[in-house]
Chains A and B, each alone.
Chain A
Amino acid sequence: MRTLVWVLAAAFLALITIALSQKGALDPLRNLALTVVSPLERGVRNAAEPVADVLDRVAERRNLENETQQLRQQIEELRAEIAGLHEQQAQAQGLEDLLKVQEGRPEDRFLVARVIAQDPSNLKERIAIDRGRDDGMAEGMVVLSAGNSLVGVVSSVLADFSWVTLITDPNSSVNAMVMESRTQGVVSGTLHDGLRMELLPQETQVQVGSTVATSGLGGNYPDALLIGEVVSVQGSPQDIFQKAEVKPAANLPRLENVLVLTSFQPARLDNAP
């Protein structure tokens, strides 16, 4: 009986704190907890990362030989491509100079942030970064990896920290485009399977290995931000749309530093009251 009373009381209090938490009333407490814990958390992460790397390497050793072979072939192909691109770049540069496109284009501004935590839940894909409202962060801001590919979007902001919803989170969807065929679709996060690009018209040809980037539609993301690479295409001729599995370009499970794009105002922010 006593246990039952305790369980009911604890459940009732938990529901109250969930409600308070949703209203943001506990944000100062969260900020304080993260301030105290983040150095410890960073220490644990720094200790865990090399161990995890070693385990990963052991597990991946079998694949390495095949991968090396493939990579050598790719290097050769890329060298040939680079030679061609140099020529194209020279031509493009000439055209750009003529049109003076760059004069009217403001440079992007970034805020560098360190990843301090990952959400341990098996149902969400989120990271915490050490920049918050006091640094000018706002919900909806776009986050990129150090290699300039799309990581996700800022989903909640505390005074000194922010949580970023990764593009692989089941709640994430990004208007995207297959660069080679200019086919537009929507890239969504899936449960542990990386990314899925949906709503690809059946009549368009999407090749494995194609590059996927943001399309800029909807105004929530700038265009031409690298998302990843198509690894498989699914869909029978009867389907209206095709689907494609996309491998994220950024190494999302091992992010250390990220860039927050502060110069781009997402449509969400513009519409905010």
Chain B
Amino acid sequence: MKYLFLAPLAMTVVLLQVAAAPYFPLMDVTANPLLVLLTCWAMVRGPRETMVLIPLTAVFKDLITNDPVGVSVLALLPIVPLAGIRERHLTQSEFVPTVVVVMVASLCYHLAYMVVLTTLGEDVPWLESPLRVLLPAALLDAVLTPLFYIPLRWATTLTESQARLRVVG
């Protein structure tokens, strides 16, 4: 039932990424709101729901862009194992690990994407990419993190406390 709500939300983020993000480049790169949303989701609510959302949203994104269908699934998959860091409780706050995971996931995303494009015979500028794409994109995605993390954290805390009240009641 909850996926009836989650899926359209994630699809809307895909649409914003495809239609609006290219208008707002920073440091010559475009942000990846879908990656940031899915990473925040996995870090705040655990990777289980993300495991459903990744194939759903990534395939949708590939269908409406020029990417081979499936490449975004591969590129977003590292989010799931990376979110395992959540269980280790390295810091008191979840926010700092989330920003770190977003940056690492962004690097993994572009590396996986570049590997697939190279395999498919596309000309990928490997030498220029680390400084021109990978690092700026990771930084930009990290900057976007609070936009998704804060509402998600708030909504999750709210639903968890409501559930607790119901149990007590």
Contacts and interface: CB of A to CB of B under 8 A. Distances in A.
A171 B55 CA distance: 28
Interface stretch (B18-26, B96-104, B146-154, B156-164): B18-26
A184 B70 CA distance: 41
Interface of A: 3-4, 6-7, 10-11, 13-18, 20-22, 26, 29-30, 33-34, 37, 40-42, 44-45, 47-49, 51-52, 55, 117-124, 126, 128, 155-156, 163, 170-171, 190-192, 253
Nearest to A51: B23
Contact of B128 (A18, A26, A191): A191
A49 to B, nearest CB: 6
B23 A6 contact: no
B64 A123 contact: no
A119 B2 CA distance: 30
Interface in B23-74: 23-24, 28-30, 32, 47, 51, 54-55, 59-60, 62-71, 73-74
A48 to B, nearest CB: 4
A248 B23 CA distance: 18
B144 interface: no
Contact of B15 (A30, A37, A49, A190): A37
> Which one of B15, B29, B64, B84 has the greatest number of beta carbons of chain A within 10 Å?
B64
Interface centre among A18, A41, A45 (most CB of B within 10 A): A18
Contacts of B63: 26, 29-30, 33-34
A126 B65 CA distance: 9
Given A120-B18, A123-B110, A123-B117, A170 B70 contact: no
Interface of B: 15-24, 28-30, 32, 47, 51, 54-55, 59-60, 62-71, 73-74, 77, 80-81, 84, 110, 113-114, 116-117, 120, 122-125, 128-129, 132-133, 137
Contact of B64 (A7, A20, A41): A41
11 contacts: A6-B51, A10-B51, A17-B69, A26-B69, A44-B15, A48-B23, A55-B24, A119-B66, A123-B117, A155-B66, A191-B133
